[in-house]
Every structure is written in C-alpha cells, then in structure tokens.
C-alpha cells in the first residue's frame, strides 16, 4: 500500500512524508515545485514533478506506484495573495482537487486525507473555534478550501469515497533540519529573514483587546501535525470511522508579542519589535479546540513554544548561504 502525497516537496508535505516513513508506510510525492523544493523530498521516496491539474500524470503515478490512498497537501496557500489572484487560486485549489478526485475514481483509489485550513472560518466571533463554528471564509483561499471539503463530501455520496479534512491553524517549527518554512508571508519566516538581514522584526498592531495588545493565534508544530495525517491515513486503511473534518489546534493561543520575546531569547539576538498599524480585518484572537483530533488522530501538543521557535530557527540557519 502506497500513499500519494501531493505537494510533498513543500514545508508541510515534506514533514508528512517523513511521518509516513517513520510509520513504515510507503509514499510517493507529486509536486510541481511552484513553492516546494525537490531537496525536501527524502532520497528513498519516488518523486514525480507534475501538477495536480495534469490528470494523465496523476493516473500514471497512481498506476506506476500502486497508490491506494492520497494525502492531498498541494495547493495555492497564500490567503492574502489570493485576493489579487482569485482565478489562479480557484484553478489550483478547486479544479486541481476535482482533477485529483477524478483520477482517483478512475483508478479505484477510495481514501483521501485533505489539507484544509482555519481560513474556512474567516473571522470567528467565539473564543474557541470548534468544528461546528459557522464557516465564513473571507478570501478566495478560504473559500477554495471550503469548496474542497464540499467536493470530498459530494464525491463520498456519489462513490463511497472515504475521507477526512484537517483544518490547520498556524503551522510552525521544523521536525528535520533539512526542511524549513520558505513562505514569504508567514510570521516565523518573516521574523527570521529580518534578523538574518540585520533588520528589526515588525508587529502589526499592539492595541488589540488581548493581554499584551498583540494578536493571539494558535501555533502548532509541523511535526505534530504530520503525525495526525498518518493517524488519519491508518484509520482510513483500517476502515475505521472518522469525522469529516478536524481542527488541529492547541486550545490555547500565543500572542505575537510572546513570539517575538521567545525569538529574541532563542536566537540570542536582542531586539524590540517595530510597531506598525493594524492590518485590515485582522481579528484579535483565533484559537481552536483540538478535542476531536485528540480523540481520533493522536493529536497533542508535543512541543513548547521555545521548542517550536528553536527548531524553526535551527532549520533556517542550516540553509544560510
């Protein structure tokens, strides 16, 4: 049995691949390298450079590697940019997912773990987001992820597809020094790149109704997230029941101010962050309950905030040129 990991050359996907190998499960990676890196793929794992929009290559990959299940991580993941590039976002995340599901149906592959997002909730007005919190995405990215969940739901009704969607919150850290977050939009890379360049990191707003005035978010370690993908895959293989969607959240948020203090402590680079105006639409707090995932998917917070920061920083330092 082999699991196809779409987007397996990316930051999150590459950690999922490693978690599969750690669990003695076979994997094959398909990635177009638009944001991933072939160097992130372990040497022992077959790599196919192709887009999920290419149905023929998907079918060839499924056949050649005897794929029995898919962990679908590939997609256009930049929520802010999606507002300027809605058609591209929908093509990659909606048409791409539909193309993948068609290839799976054609070859009789009936199980999938889908990489969804906290963005399906938009700006929730509750202190703790659960899977039942109303969905109100506020970007083409969030909308495309919600549509992806609907595609799985409808395909399950039509064909018996077995599936679950994992809604990520703020994914940070590194489980392998060979893999680090290269996103130009995420907080940790932005802070690290500023420090590497000798610049001062910035906080967007410090007048929110939170303990220190900065945004509170739910930060989870990428290796913990990867373990839960494998747990979901194992349950699908075993025919065990799963919820249609799970939040991967800590239940307890961390402020941007706390992140900055921890970064300064871990890196040994003292700094006082610059304060910029709030970004439009940024909520004060988004924190999720992970109770269902803890029950079914071996989900738990295995890393402290300092460990999240230090693992991410060491991985970034390993790639300094």
Residue 100: both structure tokens together: 């993948």
First-residue to last-residue Cα distance in the chain: 39
For residue 131, CA distances in Å to 56, 93, 286 come to 35, 21, 13
For residues 202 and 156, membership in a common domain is answered with no
For residues 312 and 209, membership in a common domain is answered with yes
For residues 152 and 178, membership in a common domain is answered with no
Q: How many CA atoms lie within 13 A of 227 on its CB side?
A: 17
pTM: 0.96
For residues 235 and 313, membership in a common domain is answered with no
State phi, psi for 23 to the nearest 5 degrees. -95, 10
276 domain residue, yes or no: yes
For residues 70 and 42, membership in a common domain is answered with yes
Residue 18: both structure tokens together: 């490693």
* Cα–Cα distance, 139 to 82 (Å, whole number): 7
For residue 296, CA distances in Å to 165, 229, 272 come to 13, 11, 42
State phi, psi for 283 to the nearest 5 degrees. -75, 160
Q: The CATH number of the domain where 263 resides is what?
A: 3.90.25.10
Total number of domains in the chain: 2
117 contacts 141 by C-beta, under 8 angstroms: yes
Q: Give the per-residue pLDDT at 127.
A: 87
282 contacts 244 by C-beta, under 8 angstroms: no
Q: The CATH number of the domain where 35 resides is what?
A: 3.40.50.720
Q: Give the per-residue pLDDT at 315.
A: 97
Q: What is the pLDDT along the chain (321 residues), one digit of tens a residue?
A: 899 999 999 999 999 999 999 999 999 999 999 999 999 999 999 999 999 999 999 999 999 999 999 999 999 999 989 999 999 999 999 999 999 999 999 999 999 999 999 999 998 989 899 999 999 999 999 999 999 999 999 999 999 999 999 999 999 999 999 999 999 999 999 999 999 999 999 999 999 999 999 999 999 999 999 999 999 999 999 999 999 999 999 999 999 999 999 999 999 999 999 999 998 778 889 999 999 999 999 999 999 999 999 999 999 999 986
Q: Give the per-residue pLDDT at 141.
A: 96
* Cα–Cα distance, 100 to 199 (Å, whole number): 43
For residues 192 and 234, membership in a common domain is answered with no
**Catalytic status, residue 90:** no
For residues 70 and 107, membership in a common domain is answered with yes
**Strand partners for 283:** none
For residues 10 and 157, membership in a common domain is answered with yes
263 contacts 194 by C-beta, under 8 angstroms: no
CA nearest 259: which of 305, 311, 221?
305
273 contacts 200 by C-beta, under 8 angstroms: yes
List Cβ<8 Å contacts ≥24 apart for 180-184. Answer: 180/11, 180/312, 180/315, 180/316, 180/318, 180/319, 181/11, 181/222, 181/312, 182/11, 182/35, 182/37, 183/11, 183/35, 183/77, 183/78
Q: Which of 121, 141, 168, 180 is catalytic?
A: 141
Edge-first strand listing for the sheet containing 67-72 = 47-49, 26-31, 2-6, 67-72, 111-117, 162-168, 245-248
Q: Which domain holds residue 260?
A: 173-217+251-287+302-317
For residues 158 and 269, membership in a common domain is answered with no
For residues 103 and 86, membership in a common domain is answered with yes
For residues 275 and 165, membership in a common domain is answered with no
CB proximity list for 69: less than 8 A, separation 6 or greater? 1, 2, 3, 4, 109, 111, 112, 113, 233, 236, 237
43 domain residue, yes or no: yes
């Amino acid at each position: 049995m082999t699991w196809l990991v779409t987007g397996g050359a990316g930051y999150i996907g590459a950690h999922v691949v490693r978690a599969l190998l750690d669990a003695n499960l076979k994997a094959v990676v398909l990635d177009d390298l638009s944001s991933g890196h072939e160097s992130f793929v372990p040497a022992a794992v077959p790599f196919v450079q192709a887009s999920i929009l290419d149905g023929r290559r998907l079918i060839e990959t499924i056949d050649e590697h005897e794929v029995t299940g898919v962990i679908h991580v590939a997609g256009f993941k930049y929520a802010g940019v999606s507002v300027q590039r809605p058609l591209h976002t929908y093509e990659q995340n909606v048409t791409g997912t539909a193309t993948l599901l068609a290839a799976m149906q054609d070859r009789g592959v009936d199980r999938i773990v889908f990489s969804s997002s906290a963005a399906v909730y938009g700006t929730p007005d509750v202190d703790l987001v659960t899977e039942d919190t109303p969905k109100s995405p506020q970007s083409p990215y969030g909308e495309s992820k919600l549509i992806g969940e609907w595609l799985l739901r409808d395909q399950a009704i039509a064909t018996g597809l077995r599936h679950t969607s994992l809604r990520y919150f703020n994914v940070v850290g590194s489980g392998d020094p060979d893999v680090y977050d290269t996103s130009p939009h995420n907080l940790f890379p932005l802070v690290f790149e500023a420090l590497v360049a000798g610049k001062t990191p910035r906080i967007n707003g410090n007048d929110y109704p939170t303990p220190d005035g900065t945004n509170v978010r739910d930060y989870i370690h990428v290796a913990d997230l990867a373990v839960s993908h494998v747990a979901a895959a194992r349950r699908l293989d075993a025919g065990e029941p799963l919820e249609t969607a799970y939040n991967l959240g800590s239940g307890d948020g961390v402020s941007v101010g706390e992140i900055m203090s921890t970064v300064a402590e871990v890196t040994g680079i003292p700094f006082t962050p610059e304060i910029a105006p709030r970004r439009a639409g940024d909520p004060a707090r988004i924190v999720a309950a992970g109770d269902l995932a803890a029950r079914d998917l071996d989900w738990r917070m295995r890393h402290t905030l300092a460990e999240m920061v230090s693992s991410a920083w060491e991985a970034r330092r390993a790639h300094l040129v």
